[in-house]
Amino acid sequence: MEYAVSSDALKGKVILVTGAGAGIGKQAALSYAEHGATVILLGRTVKKLEQTYDEIEAAGYPQPAIIPLDMKGATKQNYLDMVDTIEGQFGRLDGVLHNASLLGVISPFDQIGEDTYDDIMQVNVKAQFLMTQAVLPLLHKSEDARIIFTSSTVGHSGRAFWGTYAMSKFATEGMMQILADELSDTNIRVNAINPGGTRTAMRAKAYPAEDAELLKTPLDIMPLYLYLMSPESKSVNGECIDAQPK
């Protein structure tokens, strides 16, 4: 399916993107800003967030904001404070792209360390749960809000050696479905994207031997990211959509 949105589809909207300093999250922040959104760049490495910020500013898109936060150590209070900052600075929030996540190590199930398990579940699941609880009151005030989670092919079909990462993506899809059902009568639409193999650092870590030039780039898969964040997707709820359907 071809996804098309107008060039000002996100004008006036305030959108939070996690993991906005690299890979798909960086491109999504740039693309949302290009389509008129004020983008809040959240991530753990300030230098990378500043690069995204500078690119958005240099392009003349709406001035973004940076929220440095390591989702591994962040507490519920950190997310509540984050929402206070957003409300104080912008007075609104219209969308969240839950993009940041950890891959961990591709390994046999019996070799998954407890620390690795905890870190991945913390960043990929619990942090998104806490952040979503914190932002919901603000999203309810928006006339048309979106929450987009990020899954994976191994988030709906288990595969050997993908361990905790795959389990975390199953949990992500579950969280998305529960929220979408609960919020179906509200102004908030909740969906997930499976990016498919995309040329980023995470993909290179998972498949070190492949030719990355053969992969789609983050820019290639942006039409779906834009569509699900825009008013055009008002009737879509509770779906996990492949950005690169077979």
Catalytic residue numbers, as ranges: 165
For 183, the token pair is 């919020």
Residues 123 and 71 sit within 8 Å (Cβ to Cβ)? yes
Please state the closest distance from residue 10 (CB atom) to ligand NAP, in A. Answer: 20
Please state the closest distance from residue 11 (CB atom) to ligand NAP, in A. Answer: 25
Stretch that binds ligand NAP, among 88-96, 133-141, 177-185, 191-199 (CB under 6 A): 191-199
**Is residue 80 exposed (0-12), middle (13-18) or buried (19+ Cβ within 10 Å)?**
middle
Q: Tell me the HSE value of 196 on the side-chain side, using a 13 A CA sphere.
A: 16
Please state the closest distance from residue 99 (CB atom) to ligand NAP, in A. Answer: 5
Residues 172 and 149 sit within 8 Å (Cβ to Cβ)? yes
196: left (phi over 0), alpha (psi -120 to 50) or beta: left
| Total of chain residues touching ligand NAP, rule CB under 6 A | 27
Asked if 19 touches ligand NAP (CB under 6 A), the answer is yes
Contact mark string toward ligand NAP, 194..213, x via CB under 6 A = -x-xx-xxxx----------
Q: Which position's Cβ is nearest ligand NAP?
A: 23
Stretch that binds ligand NAP, among 54-62, 80-88, 193-201, 226-234 (CB under 6 A): 193-201
- The continuous run of DSSP H or E covering 167 comes out as helix 163-182
Asked if 152 touches ligand NAP (CB under 6 A), the answer is yes
Stretch that binds ligand NAP, among 4-12, 17-25, 136-144, 227-235 (CB under 6 A): 17-25
Residues 93 and 108 sit within 8 Å (Cβ to Cβ)? no
Asked if 22 touches ligand NAP (CB under 6 A), the answer is yes
Spatial distance between the Cα atoms of 177 and 155, rounded to a whole number of angstroms: 13
**3-class secondary structure, 180:** helix
Residues that bind ligand NAP (CB under 6 A): 19, 21-25, 43-45, 48, 70-72, 99-102, 123, 150, 152, 195, 197-198, 200-203
